Amino acid sequence: MLFKYLFQAMTTNCELQVIHGNKKTADFAASTVLREVKRLEKKYNFHSPTSYLSQKINNRENDTLVLDEETATLLNRVFNLSKECNDIFDITVGTFSDCYKKKTIQEYNKCIEALKHYTGRTTFILEGNTLTFTNSFTKFDLGGVVKEYSIDVSKEILQKSSIFSALINYGGDIYALGVKEDGTKWKVGIKNPSNPKLNIKSIELSNKALTTSAHYERKRKIGKKEVSHIIPSKNAASSSLIQSTVISDSVLESGIYSTSFLIDERINVRKGIEVFNIQKGLKIIT
């Protein structure tokens, strides 16, 4: 039987489609998933002054910190994947948070330029559970990884609950677990950047993760000009892409790769990763 669960988390619509023969088992697994997703949302909320991220890391009293095991493991995973992507994906963009409060695009650009020195891999060192910053300005923003990580965690919760067929979709970031009741793969769509309500391509997935990154998804208005929510890292080249979709074994992996490709399309793709990049004019590069 197919059971659907809808909820809101991390500023987006979330959906679980679970196939199982027992509704109580499905309901219990879904409630466990919801509780865990909400915990992660609260713990790593960049905008909450009471979150672990804010209190422990961004508003730190000392530049050397001892992290809890979960955070150290997550950050280590993020940094390793970022390294695979030439460090294009950069969670230190949280350093620029005050720049979005500027009233003109000129002030915004000046702010970004002044703070670039405090971003990037050279501004911190992670050794085991110990995180050391080289300055007091650098801030982490995990907004680009927490939702993706929470889907990977949700998949593990479902599997531990003996659920091996489900579609997890949090705001378009997807993990397809197993197959549908009729034995066919889950079918998901890649959005058309010219009309995000429509799909430009459909893909069948089983035990795979899919994420799509695009400049049109979330924009901020600075004065009279809109800017992308994705800020290029200081070592990125210009990119002609307007959308990037990546399929891999984990949603966290797909998310970091798809965002990195959107910023700099020169990244090498290792075995096991499938990429659909879309240029202006809707040319799909696979």
DSSP string, 72-121: HHHHHHHHHHHHHTTT-S-TTBGGGGGGGG-SSHHHHHHHHHHHGGG-SG
Q: For the domain that residue 27 is a member of, what is the CATH number?
A: 3.10.520.10
Residue count of the chain, please give it. 286
Is the pLDDT confidence value at 237 over 70? no
By mean pLDDT, which of 95-99, 147-151, 229-233 is the weakest?
A: 229-233
| Higher pLDDT among residues 172 and 284, named by residue | 172
Answer with the one of 125, 140, 155 that is the final residue of a domain: 140
Same domain, 189 and 277: yes
pLDDT category of residue 195 using cuts at 50, 70 and 90: confident
Residue 69, SS3 per DSSP:
helix
pLDDT category of residue 172 using cuts at 50, 70 and 90: very high
Phi, psi torsion values for 151, nearest 5 degrees: -70, -40
Asked, for residue 54, whether it belongs to a domain, the answer is: no
Partners of residue 3 on adjacent β-strands: 18
Same domain, 129 and 269: no
Asked, for residue 49, whether it belongs to a domain, the answer is: no
- Determine the pLDDT at residue 143: 92
Residue among 283, 40, 284, 37 at smallest CA distance from 175 = 37
- Determine the pLDDT at residue 180: 96
Query: Average pLDDT for residues 114-124, to the nearest whole number?
Result: 94
Answer with the one of 160, 183, 206 that is the final residue of a domain: 183
pLDDT category of residue 281 using cuts at 50, 70 and 90: low
- Determine the pLDDT at residue 240: 76
Asked, for residue 52, whether it belongs to a domain, the answer is: no
Same domain, 88 and 70: yes
Q: How far is CA 70 from CA 40, 65, 79, 84, in A?
A: 10, 14, 14, 22
Same domain, 194 and 282: yes
Is the pLDDT confidence value at 186 over 60? yes
Work out how many domains the chain is built from and give that number: 3
**Helix, strand, coil in percent for the chain, rounding step 5:** 35, 30, 35
Same domain, 121 and 194: no
Answer with the one of 127, 158, 183 that is the final residue of a domain: 183
- Determine the pLDDT at residue 165: 98
Same domain, 101 and 80: yes
Same domain, 29 and 150: yes
Tell me the residue range of the domain where 213 lies: 185-286
Same domain, 189 and 283: yes
Residue among 210, 253, 272, 248 at smallest CA distance from 85 = 253
Same domain, 147 and 38: yes
Phi, psi torsion values for 102, nearest 5 degrees: -70, 150
* Residue 151 one-letter amino acid: I
Contact 173, 255 (CB under 8 A): yes
Cα separation, 262 vs 242, whole angstroms: 7
Same domain, 97 and 152: no
CB-hemisphere CA count at 13 Å for 112?
16
Same domain, 247 and 211: yes
Is the pLDDT confidence value at 234 over 60? no
Contact 124, 92 (CB under 8 A): yes
Same domain, 226 and 190: yes
- Determine the pLDDT at residue 226: 60
pLDDT category of residue 10 using cuts at 50, 70 and 90: very high
CB atoms near residue 64 (< 10 Å)? 10
Asked, for residue 51, whether it belongs to a domain, the answer is: no
Is the pLDDT confidence value at 231 over 70? no
Is the pLDDT confidence value at 38 over 60? yes
pLDDT category of residue 220 using cuts at 50, 70 and 90: low
